[in-house]
Amino acid sequence: MALASHHIEALGAILGPQGLLTAADEMAPYESGARYDRGRAAFVARPRTTAAVSEVVAYCTGNAIALVPQSGNTGLVGGSTPDESGEQGILSLDRLRATFDLDMDNRSLRVDAGFRLSEINARLEPHGLFFPVDLGADPMAGGMAATNTGGARFLRFGDVRRNTLGLKLVLSDEAGTVIECGSGLRKDNTGPDWKQLFIGTGGAFGIVTECTFSLERLPRQIATAFLVPRDGAAVAVLLAEMEERAGAYLSAFEGMSGVAIRHALAHAPSLRNPFPGGDVPGYVILVELSRSWPRRKSEQPLDAVLEELLGDIWEQPGGPLHDAFVGAAPEMWALRHALSEGAKSAGYVVGLDLSFRRGRVMRFRDEMAAVLAAEFPEVEICDFGHVGDGGVHFNLVMPRDPDGGVDLDLAARLRSRVTDVAVERYGGSFSAEHGLGRRNQHIYDRLTPAKFRHMATSFKLATSPAATGAVRL
């Protein structure tokens, strides 16, 4: 159902040339998400400034036109795409690209929502700085804040929340009210830290148009190794040992199941099998040490440090380490980054983005192996993830039918079964870093206590009563 032509004209007048898309081919890239989701839009509005975002929001609120905010559209849970009605407009932030204000003294960056992570880091590189949220995807700043993305260096640098010093937002109310929460201060206890409620809530309370991020110095020395733990219980011990010996050097501790590694090696022939005799262990940790300065002459090379401390762990009688291989970081990370595509090549992936207290990850994994073998014998566990901070991308690979089809009912039952055990029995999270969206809204609705839902409704009324995006709190 197309939008009435007077609305199109009014929005076009606010947005100017190229600011409003209504042709099917122009809208298509905005209508589909990175993985599963696909909808139909009434229009795509592409404002260039926060003031224009405000005008669009005010117009749409006044005329009961639904708007779905979207920035890089790289999310995995359907948090930034319209539904299938064709009645929702997309509010794209991809032309919000005027502000890029680097404060070297403060080690911070004020940046418009439409800059991609890769662009931000390319511009910061000559200054020796980067925004330390390390992801497989390439989101835009606004969506990173709205999703609170984590990534592979969370253990060292934390998530977007930890590295955000301020946000500018447009509220979905009649005026399209603009607010600024924080402005680059590192400490400020003069009232509620409101920006925290806009981080990770997918635009439900307000649309992020500008972020002030804290930056970190680029790593200048890196050493990596594959560690083979003695058994599942040894993973937490290895993590504690590495933290004890490497402290703030430790910048990644990533778990990779042997199944995931084998699929990646089969799918990407350019990868070398790094294990002796090609014999992939059942579980492998990718560990990384890094330092943010060039090596001083008086300093031992970082790979020698890593070898030395792995040697110390190795020598412990009954210690957690079965085997270890120090090697080149690019090659080791290439294998890690190939795991996701490898899983997809093996069948239909039911991807669960879980997290636990750190000591519970491997116990959950062991229990699920037994449960799935009994109840879903056709499913293969192909997990990997950020076990150093309790995260695990618990991917379940289902075989496809001969015609390529998938038993979606089985997939739904599988997803529910595993999610319930993770949340209810292990106190885990059903969305560790992917956030909320159409794909997991029903889990939020089912598992969120009534008091928290009431708090969310109240806060939405106080901020964005007219919000109609893909995330509903």
Please list every residue from 121 through 180 that binds a second copy, using CB under 8 A: 128, 147-148, 150, 154, 158-159, 161-162, 177, 179
Nearer to a second copy, 154 or 394 (CB): 154
94-113 residues near a second copy, rule: CB under 8 A: 103-108
Instruction: Give the nearest distance from C-beta 22 to a second copy in angstroms.
Output: 33
Instruction: Give the nearest distance from C-beta 184 to a second copy in angstroms.
Output: 5
Instruction: Give the nearest distance from C-beta 353 to a second copy in angstroms.
Output: 9
360-379 residues near a second copy, rule: CB under 8 A: 360
Residue 41 binds to a second copy (criterion: CB under 8 A)? no
- DSSP class of residue 219 equals P
Instruction: Give the nearest distance from C-beta 243 to a second copy in angstroms.
Output: 6
User: Which listed residue (2, 13, 98, 461) binds a second copy by CB under 8 A?
Assistant: 461
User: Which listed residue (95, 358, 393, 415) binds a second copy by CB under 8 A?
Assistant: 358
Instruction: Give the nearest distance from C-beta 161 to a second copy in angstroms.
Output: 7
Residue 451 in 3-state DSSP?
helix
Q: For residues 363 and 173, give the distance between their C-alpha atoms in angstroms, rounded to a whole number.
A: 46
Nearer to a second copy, 4 or 461 (CB): 461
Structure tokens at 333: 């990370």
Nearer to a second copy, 98 or 185 (CB): 185
Q: Considering all CA atoms of the chain, what is the largest pairwise distance in Å, rounded to the nearest integer?
A: 78
Nearer to a second copy, 84 or 308 (CB): 308
- DSSP class of residue 378 equals T
248-307 residues near a second copy, rule: CB under 8 A: 248-249, 291-293, 296, 298-300, 304-305
User: Which listed residue (65, 227, 260, 473) binds a second copy by CB under 8 A?
Assistant: 473
- Name 350's bridge partners: 396
Q: For residues 156 and 154, give the distance between their C-alpha atoms in angstroms, rounded to a whole number.
A: 5
380-409 residues near a second copy, rule: CB under 8 A: 386, 389-391
409-448 residues near a second copy, rule: CB under 8 A: 427-436, 443-444, 447-448
Instruction: Give the nearest distance from C-beta 104 to a second copy in angstroms.
Output: 7
CA distances from 229 to 193, 222, 242, 272, 381 (A): 41, 22, 12, 21, 19
182-241 residues near a second copy, rule: CB under 8 A: 183-194, 196-197, 199-201, 205, 217, 236, 239-240
Nearer to a second copy, 395 or 440 (CB): 440
Amino acid at 430: F
Tell me if 287 sits within 8 A of 250, measured CB to CB: yes
Give the DSSP H/E element, type plus range, for residue 257: strand 250-257
Nearer to a second copy, 9 or 312 (CB): 312
- DSSP class of residue 4 equals P
Residue 145's nearest CA partner among 89, 83, 217, 96 is 96
Instruction: Give the nearest distance from C-beta 71 to a second copy in angstroms.
Output: 16
Q: For residues 442 and 444, give the distance between their C-alpha atoms in angstroms, rounded to a whole number.
A: 5
Nearer to a second copy, 26 or 312 (CB): 312
Looking at 5-13, 255-263, 358-366, 393-401, which segment touches a second copy (CB under 8 A)? 358-366
Instruction: Give the nearest distance from C-beta 415 to a second copy in angstroms.
Output: 15
Neighbouring residues of 162: CB distance < 8 A, sequence distance ≥ 6: none
Q: What angle do CA 30, 34, 39 make, to 5 degrees?
A: 45
Tell me the DSSP string of 13-32. HHH-TTSEE-SHHHHHHHHB
Burial class (CB in 10 A: 0-12, 13-18, 19+), 23: exposed
Looking at 65-73, 342-350, 366-374, 461-469, which segment touches a second copy (CB under 8 A)? 461-469
Q: How many residues bind a second copy (CB under 8 A)?
A: 93
Q: For residues 289 and 310, give the distance between their C-alpha atoms in angstroms, rounded to a whole number.
A: 12
Amino acid at 189: N
Quickly count: other Cβ atoms within 10 Å of residue 294's Cβ.
8
Instruction: Give the nearest distance from C-beta 432 to a second copy in angstroms.
Output: 4
Instruction: Give the nearest distance from C-beta 437 to a second copy in angstroms.
Output: 11
Instruction: Give the nearest distance from C-beta 279 to a second copy in angstroms.
Output: 29
CA distances from 385 to 78, 252, 353 (A): 21, 10, 9
